A and B are shown apart, each in its own frame.
Chain A
């Protein structure tokens, strides 16, 4: 029964604040063991839809489901299955790490040795065991972030919703958080994660959803998004010894070439086609008399995809 439906499902979700459409008809699914990256500019509606999923807000229309349970009609059942890490710490004064985790373990009805084990497990997983008796207010930002992840994990939920978990962390802490998230996915949890650091998301996400002005403008794997509605595109960079303006004009007349940009001696553009087509293009370039110093192509990064499908609109 539990495997017959996705662990996370948003179905035609709408959330309006007056005239502002914070979330506008968003639908997607995340299965067991998958990491879904939620991308969008500030104000795109990521946090709002995550809050609906975490039963902190009600949708204006549509519904969201966690393990098949509606967040509107069965919030209690959803809460038992979901761990939410918001974009704020939410810590208490005069409490140390162990007491903080103990409180949330009790709040999730864990008793006796079960609770002790859960706290020990979480502290070990997040590397907080050495700081167990340290007051929370004395923790660094990275450690607080780990603590919040630990709190969201304390009842071993099947679904994790992480809102900007790596925001403001140093590179080492970011790498560690990333590794933890991947580990959680390997344990079979469905994870919805939002972040502004797109390169990081590309590394850990199985699926990506791009949100702009409340609407999901693209969803799927990075490759799938790249392929949406057109043949695969690569980013091509050509370094010339001279004549970049002429090359840009020349490229405008070629088929399969788009988004041409000049940056000093470098011309960068998108090219639709396979490697053979790129080789033909280089050959044609040299035959046309351009003095090519370097020619390289790479697959589009998540940032490229993001820039391609969004228009930079905010509300």
Chain B
């Protein structure tokens, strides 16, 4: 039963650890890093090196790079050396690189998880000590590793384009940076889609949809690339350029984290808490938005339309998040109940992070309300300082329009999510309602809110569009908001909308309150004895060793065995 196998390449032998000098230190560092690498990354790196798919893609990428190098030089001829044809050459290389980065790598990430489910190796993986976060991170890092290999393969060609002139170094860096972000982001989306189902037929449907989406993303990336290379002179020396990029990266990072933990939640064991971490990320994301909106307002004095767009985006974001959260199960497992906040302050402030449709509803409404409060603050500051000092471009009615728009967004969100939640609770009485059904109900509600008045009006009058907006369409949030926000002067029926919609939202909110209260009443339960016993054992093992008396000056406390001085 002794170890008869030869040591694995990464295992340091005693000779290695005894050796001195920087090579030995570097080796030990590499061993240390290798030991801590995600097991999935290690396995898939080994697999990739032997897999035909990787060899084929890598070979094709290199071949395409070479072919384009020779073809480009042949087309441009001798003038390539002095007329700055670097941009044309770069565009070709960018397209060659974008295809594996935006199509192959994300689709591989999707297939990697989907095939694990098909081959049922995922079951074996899921019962190891790897956490769902490690599984998703491992798959993502494998995708990242492939991306780096493809990037390094084409990098000599990109360096070549810079030498040809015609394209600035910052443009090359910027495009590669966003291409890499796009590749990682799409890989993560591929992973999330891979976690959605283990049914073969649904996987086929999803893979077709994903391929279509990835090809579309590839087309968009190529267009953006050509726009940046030929149509846009990147203002890299201006602060505004970097602020925009920082804002874009902030949005990317927060959505990346959200999608990452959504994928983690998808594969987390059913009795575990899948929601709290996502809600924390939503709060961080919201804080990030608030910071950026405030910065943009203070530093750049934007037009009021920008804030209208941001409000619309905020409303849509919280509606989607709310639709997902209201689809959660109202029952908390004993495992989740063990970690509920216990103190008074904890219960007041952290209960809303607990899983559950009621707390989720309130969380979404509070998130959207925070957006409205922010707009109200901006308007207040604007009014206090007066037009011409803070936001010069605003016309007199803009403040009022922004507030009305914000109130209506909040009212629609509260009403629709609340009605959806009431329906979901009704369905819970007849059986289990999965999250997908919950989201479907929410979407159908909005569709019905838009379609029913349209059908009614079409029945009454065949000229649907020419008849314009009327209060019949009050349930249509999109048309109503466009009606209110499209002009700087508010329409005549605004006051009626401001009465009916918030009142309806308030009624729906109050109808949902008992359900929310029921969820808030959950209290922490004690750990089972066996769990507490093991935790105590582990804590004892992790506790620092008893101090040892090493000198005559060490003082032993009376009644204790510890050394204190």
Q: Which residues on A are within 8 Å of B, measured CB to CB?
A: 1, 5, 54-56, 58, 67-70, 72-77, 79-80, 82, 84, 86, 88, 90-95, 98-99, 102-104, 106-109, 111-113, 115-117, 119-121, 123-125, 129, 132, 151, 155
A80→B129 contact, CB < 8 A: yes
Q: Any chain A CB within 8 A of the CB of B79?
A: no
Separation of A5 and B534 alpha carbons in the complex (Å)? 14
Q: Tell me whether B121 and A91 are in contact (CB under 8 A).
A: yes
* Chain A: CB-nearest residue to B271: A72
The 3 closest A-B pairs by CB, nearest first: A120-B3, A106-B39, A107-B128
B50 touches A94 (CB 8 A): yes
Q: How far is the CB of A270 from chain B (nearest CB, A)?
A: 43
The complex places the Cα of A117 from the Cα of B8 at a distance, in Å, of 10
Chain B residues contacting A108 (CB-CB under 8 Å) are 128-129
Quick check: B35 and A112 within 8 Å, CB to CB? yes
B4 in contact with A123 (CB, 8 Å): yes
Rounded to whole Å, the gap between the CB of B148 and the closest CB of chain A is 20
CB–CB A119/B530 < 8 A? no
Within the complex, what minimum Cβ distance (angstroms) separates A57 from chain B? 9
Alpha-carbon gap, A213 to B353, bound state (A): 43
Which of A55, A69, A99 lies in contact with B46, CB distance below 8 A?
A: A99
A-B contact pairs, 30 of them (CB 8 A): A54-B127, A55-B269, A56-B126, A58-B271, A69-B530, A72-B333, A73-B334, A73-B338, A74-B528, A77-B531, A79-B127, A79-B129, A84-B124, A86-B120, A86-B123, A86-B124, A91-B121, A95-B46, A99-B43, A103-B39, A108-B129, A112-B12, A115-B8, A115-B11, A116-B7, A116-B8, A119-B8, A120-B3, A124-B4, A125-B1
Q: Which residue of B lies closest to A51 (CB)?
A: B123
Q: B42 contacts the other chain (Cβ, under 8 Å)? A: yes
Q: How far is the CA of A84 from the CA of B530 in the complex (A)?
A: 22
Specify which of A68, A74, A93, A121 is in contact with B3 (CB 8 Å cutoff): A121
Complexed CA–CA distance, A70 and B47 (Å):
36
Given the contacts A56-B127, A112-B12, A88 and B5 also touching, CB distance less than 8 Å: no
Across the interface, do B5 and A107 meet the contact criterion of CB distance under 8 Å? no
Provide the B20-36 mask, 1 if CB < 8 A to any CB of A, else 0.
00000000000000010
Docked-complex contact A103 and B42, CB < 8 angstroms: yes
B382 interface residue, CB < 8 Å from A? no
With a cutoff of 8 Å between Cβ atoms, the chain B residues found around residue A5 in the complex are 530
Q: Is the CB of A107 within 8 A of B130?
A: yes
Q: Choose among B1, B128, B130, B334 the residue with the greatest number of A CB atoms under 10 Å from its CB.
A: B128
Pair B128/A90 contact, Cβ less than 8 Å: no
Known: A69-B531, A102-B8, A103-B43. A116 touches B270 (CB 8 A): no
Q: Report the Cα distance A107→B42, complex, angstroms.
A: 11
Could you tell me if A121 and B35 are in contact, using CB atoms closer than 8 angstroms? Answer: no
Instruction: For the complex formed, measure the closest distance between the CB of A18 and the CB atoms of chain B, giving whole angstroms.
Output: 11
Q: Is B423 an interface residue (CB 8 A)?
A: no
- Cross-interface CB contact of B4 among A55, A77, A95, A129, cutoff 8 Å: A129
B470 within 8 A of A: no
Chain B residues, CB < 8 A from A77? 531, 534
Known: A95-B46, A124-B5, A129-B4. 10 other contacts (CB 8 A): A58-B271, A72-B271, A72-B334, A77-B534, A90-B124, A94-B47, A106-B39, A107-B129, A117-B3, A120-B3
* Contact (Cβ within 8 A) A74 B531: yes
Please measure, in the bound complex, the distance between the C-alpha atom of A112 and the C-alpha atom of B271, giving whole angstroms.
Answer: 33
Contacts of A117 in B (CB 8 A): 2-3
Chain B residues whose CB sits within 8 angstroms of the CB of A104 once the complex forms: 124, 128
Contact of A120 among B4, B43, B127, B531 (CB under 8 A): B4
Q: With A and B bound together, what is the CA distance between A277 and B563 in angstroms?
A: 79
C-alpha spacing A76/B133, complex, angstroms? 13
With CB as the reference atom, state the residue of chain A lying closest to B39.
Answer: A106
Compute how far the CA of A26 lies from the CA of B563 in the bound complex, rounded to whole angstroms: 55
B51 proximal to A (CB < 8 A): yes
Q: Are A120 and B8 in contact (CB under 8 A)?
A: no
- Please determine whether A116 and B3 come into contact, CB atoms closer than 8 angstroms: yes
CB within 8 A of B47: which of A58, A79, A93, A98?
A93
Q: Which residues of B contact A68 (CB under 8 A)?
A: 530
Cα A103 to Cα B43 with chains together (Å): 6
Q: In the bound complex, what is the Cα–Cα distance between A197 and B8 (angstroms)?
A: 39
For residue A75, which residue of chain B has the nearest CB?
B269
B125 contacts the other chain (CB 8 A)? yes
Proximity bits, B253-293, A CB within 8 Å = 1, else 0: 00000000000000001111000000000000000000000
CA of A37 to CA of B487, assembled, Å? 77
Q: How far is the CA of A247 from the CA of B135 in the complex (A)?
A: 69
In the complex, chain A residues whose CB is within 8 Å of the CB of B39: 103, 106-107
B119 within 8 Å of A (CB atoms)? yes
Chain B residues with Cβ under 8 A from A113's Cβ?
Answer: 11
Chain B minimum-CB-distance residue to A118:
B3
Chain B residue at minimal CB-CB distance from A101: B5
Minimum CB–CB distance for B534 against chain A, Å: 7
Is B47 within 8 A of A95, CB to CB?
Answer: yes
Tell me if B111 is interfacial: C-beta within 8 Å of chain A. no
Contact check, A79 vs B8: say whether CB atoms are below 8 A apart: no
